[in-house]
Amino acid sequence: MQQSKWDQERYSQEKLKLSLKEIFLKSPLRYLISICTVVIILFGFWYITEPTYNNLPAGKIPIIKPLEGPVKVRPITNPKENHEDKTIYQKLAETEGSQQVEHLLGGPEEPISRPLSLPQEFIGEFLEDKNEMSLAELSSSKNKQEAFLPTSPTQPQASAELSKEEELEETKSTNVAISGPNVKTINPKDAPPSQERYCLQLGTLKTEEQAKLEWKRLSSRQVLKPYLLNLKPEFKKVDLGNDTGVRIRLIAGSLTKKEAQHLCQELTKLSVKHNIALGCRVKKR
């Protein structure tokens, strides 16, 4: 029976596999191949573990050295030229022209003009207030008493603005003389010194309603009631400048200067003693 072509190829491949298997397993060649493999492995192990493997003398450590040659090279320039007159935006090349420095800021500002001269009425009122009790004395007396008194609850916003009003004064003031129900203004130059009347300024508030509430609060206190009982409150509208605006002054009484100063001192002492928010000042009517 004749074999097919496919069977012949299969038979030839199987025969080749058998021949190779016989060479490595049955022939003496396998011993030679095994011996050569072992010799190569032993030679490689000996070469790696040999002391002279790195070709260095015994007892020395290998050192990494930099490349030979100059590390930095100086530019070829004139040693006398220090370039101090050049900005960092300019190049140091000789061919390029000098750049102009741009000044962003302008020239100096003009001085502020002097304020307008104050009127004579304001100066006269300022000189009169010099003899009154200064604000520093009032604050020092308050500080001494506050060390022994507990802190009070927050007062209305209207009372907190008394300190702001002390720094601002109206530019013009009119003296008022009270005669019966009618009130008439008198020129301060024409009024004799014996007829000058003063009042107590108890606060400066934003609206008339707040001023009325402030008077009601002060007059309702038992310690202040005997002093404020005979005083008639008045609510005067004043202009304190562009920053503050129009305010309502709470004033009361028509007294002589000594009486007003004495009454204001008594009210200040009582307010400090009983921890009452009160700012009292003597003002000319």
- Summarised one tens digit per residue, pLDDT across range 57-68 is 666 777 788 777
pLDDT at 278: 84
What are the Cα distances from residue 17, in Å, to 12, 20, 23, 67, 186?
9, 5, 10, 60, 142
CA distance 233 to 253: 7
In terms of Cβ atoms closer than 10 Å to its own Cβ (0-12, 13-18, 19+), residue 253 is: buried
CA distance 63 to 127: 93
pLDDT at 39: 93
pLDDT at 4: 61
pLDDT at 175: 41
Task: State which residues of the chain have pLDDT below 70.
Answer: 1-27, 51-59, 75, 79, 83-99, 114-194
**What is the residue extent of each domain of the chain?**
121-148+156-284
214 close to 205: Cβ distance less than 8 angstroms: yes
This prediction's pTM: 0.33
pLDDT in tens, 1-42: 455 655 556 656 666 555 656 666 666 777 788 889 999 999
pLDDT at 157: 46
Q: At what angle do helices 257-273 and 135-146 cross, to 10 degrees?
A: 20
